[in-house]
């Protein structure tokens, strides 16, 4: 299969459709979503369902779960920065068995596709968790290969920073499940496209770009780091320009969908990611400010498509004028 490239004339022009009811449906692997708007893992609790209509979501991505329970990092764990926030939660969770027995039955009541997010210290742990999730009721699995707030066993750095480790992990998970597999990658690499290609070659159905950037903040009165873990992950508006470039870089090398993430606060941000090559988007930090941010993004996309006379959201993907 030939990778998508700049000479793919089928994408142009994008602003020439007749004004009809917009089709926002997208396909990610085996997942057929009613629209491309998701909520990012660990940023959106089902409790928000008391305030907003969760059935409007394209998909719900659950908080990352590990094989065994984890306590997470010491507090403080969250700090607001200029145009973003730092978090150092450290994947606190009750383990995969609790997730399957207690969380999934509640998540299925939302009425939209459920994507489990998983992490492990090594490729074998990822595979064990993936096998356990097969047949559990979730619709897809996002392999969190890139959380900057945890250590991966004896590894130096993240799995997502090593193309060989990414290939090995995705390959082992692919062997134990038929569910849609999504690899969530780190921006803290030299060539994001090469890492993404490793995941694709190993059998990933889609790529999420990107996870948070390693960062820190200092209290000048105490001369100490503000976060209890010293460093954390930077999310929010500050990271969007870099995330956009990484999506674009990967788009022309891959033949599988990209899910864009990083500083999406409104529909304009979402459109930028889609034009750069994202088939879907994840709303993260914006949900802390407004639990209904995903609805605003979705409604904005509809209005944008109506104004531009765009029939299908698919016609926007990768449509940036080069």
Per residue in 80-111, pLDDT tens?
999 999 999 999 999 999 999 999 999 999 99
Cβ atoms of residues 129 and 100 within 8 Å: no
**CA–CA dist 19, 307 (Å, integer):** 8
Specify the residue for token string 């193309």: 163
pLDDT reading at 157 higher than 80: no
What band does 10 get if pLDDT is binned at 50, 70 and 90?
A: very low
The pLDDT score that the predictor gives to residue 246 is: 98
The pLDDT score that the predictor gives to residue 147 is: 78
Average pLDDT of span 49-77 = 97
Report percent pLDDT > 70 for the chain. Answer: 91
Question: What fold, for 9-316?
Answer: TIM Barrel (3.20.20)
pLDDT reading at 18 higher than 70: no
What band does 322 get if pLDDT is binned at 50, 70 and 90?
A: low
Region for residue 93 given its phi and psi (left: phi exceeds 0; alpha: psi -120 to 50; beta: otherwise): beta
**CA–CA dist 185, 198 (Å, integer):** 11
The pLDDT score that the predictor gives to residue 248 is: 98
pLDDT reading at 17 higher than 60: no
Task: Name the residue ranges covered by the structural domains of the chain.
Answer: 9-316
Helices 267-276 + 240-251 axis angle, to 10:
30
The pLDDT score that the predictor gives to residue 107 is: 97
pLDDT reading at 8 higher than 90: no
The pLDDT score that the predictor gives to residue 85 is: 97
pLDDT reading at 7 higher than 50: no
Cβ atoms of residues 216 and 86 within 8 Å: yes
What band does 321 get if pLDDT is binned at 50, 70 and 90?
A: confident
Residue 23 contacts by C-beta under 8 Å, 6 or more apart in sequence?
311, 312, 313, 314
Average pLDDT of span 256-266 = 98
The pLDDT score that the predictor gives to residue 21 is: 79
Helices (runs of H) and strands (runs of E) counted in the chain: 9, 16
The pLDDT score that the predictor gives to residue 4 is: 65
What band does 11 get if pLDDT is binned at 50, 70 and 90?
A: very low
Average pLDDT of span 176-187 = 98
The pLDDT score that the predictor gives to residue 12 is: 47
The pLDDT score that the predictor gives to residue 19 is: 45
DSSP H or E stretch at residue 180? strand 180-184
DSSP H or E stretch at residue 183? strand 180-184
**Top-confidence residue, 77 or 148:** 77
Rg for the chain (alpha carbons), in Å? 19
Average pLDDT for the chain: 92
Classified as helix, coil or strand, 142 is strand
pLDDT reading at 167 higher than 90: yes
**CA–CA dist 119, 123 (Å, integer):** 9
Q: Token pair of 68, please? A: 């065994």
For the stretch 196-234, pLDDT in tens is 999 999 999 999 999 999 999 999 999 999 999 999 999
Average pLDDT of span 278-304 = 97
pLDDT reading at 24 higher than 80: yes
**CA–CA dist 233, 78 (Å, integer):** 9
Instruction: Show which residues are catalytic.
Output: 147
Other beta carbons within 10 Å of 17? 15
**CA–CA dist 234, 54 (Å, integer):** 26
Give the global pTM. 0.92
Cβ atoms of residues 208 and 261 within 8 Å: yes
**CA–CA dist 186, 173 (Å, integer):** 19
């Amino acid at each position: 299969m030939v990778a998508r490239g700049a000479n793919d004339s089928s994408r142009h022009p994008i602003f020439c459709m007749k004004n009809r009811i917009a089709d926002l449906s997208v396909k990610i692997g085996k997942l057929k979503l009613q629209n491309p708007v998701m909520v990012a893992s660990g940023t959106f609790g089902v409790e928000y369902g008391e305030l907003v209509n969760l059935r409007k979501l394209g998909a719900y991505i659950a908080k990352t779960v590990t094989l065994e329970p984890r306590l997470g990092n010491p507090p403080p764990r969250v700090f607001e920065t200029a145009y973003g926030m730092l978090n150092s939660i450290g994947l606190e969770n009750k383990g995969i068995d609790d997730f399957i027995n207690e969380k999934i039955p509640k998540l299925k009541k939302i009425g939209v596709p459920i994507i489990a997010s998983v992490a492990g210290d090594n490729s074998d742990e990822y595979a064990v968790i993936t096998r356990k999730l097969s047949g559990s009721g979730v619709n897809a699995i996002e392999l969190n290969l890139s959380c900057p707030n945890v250590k991966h066993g004896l590894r130096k750095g993240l799995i997502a920073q090593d193309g060989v480790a990414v290939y090995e992990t995705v390959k082992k998970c692919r062997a134990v499940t038929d569910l849609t597999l999504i690899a969530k990658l780190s921006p803290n690499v030299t060539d994001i496209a090469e890492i993404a290609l490793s995941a694709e070659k190993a059998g990933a159905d889609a790529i999420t770009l990107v996870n948070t950037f390693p960062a820190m903040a200092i209290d000048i009165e105490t001369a100490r780091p503000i976060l209890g873990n010293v460093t954390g992950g930077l999310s929010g508006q500050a990271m969007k320009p870099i995330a956009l470039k990484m999506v674009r870089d990967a788009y022309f090398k891959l033949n599988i969908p990209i899910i864009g993430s990083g500083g999406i606060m409104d529909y304009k941000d979402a459109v930028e990611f889609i034009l750069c090559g994202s088939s879907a988007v994840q709303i993260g930090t914006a949900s802390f400010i407004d639990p209904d941010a995903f609805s605003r993004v979705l409604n904005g996309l509809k209005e944008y498509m109506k104004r531009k006379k765009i029939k299908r959201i698919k016609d926007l993907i990768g449509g940036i004028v080069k």
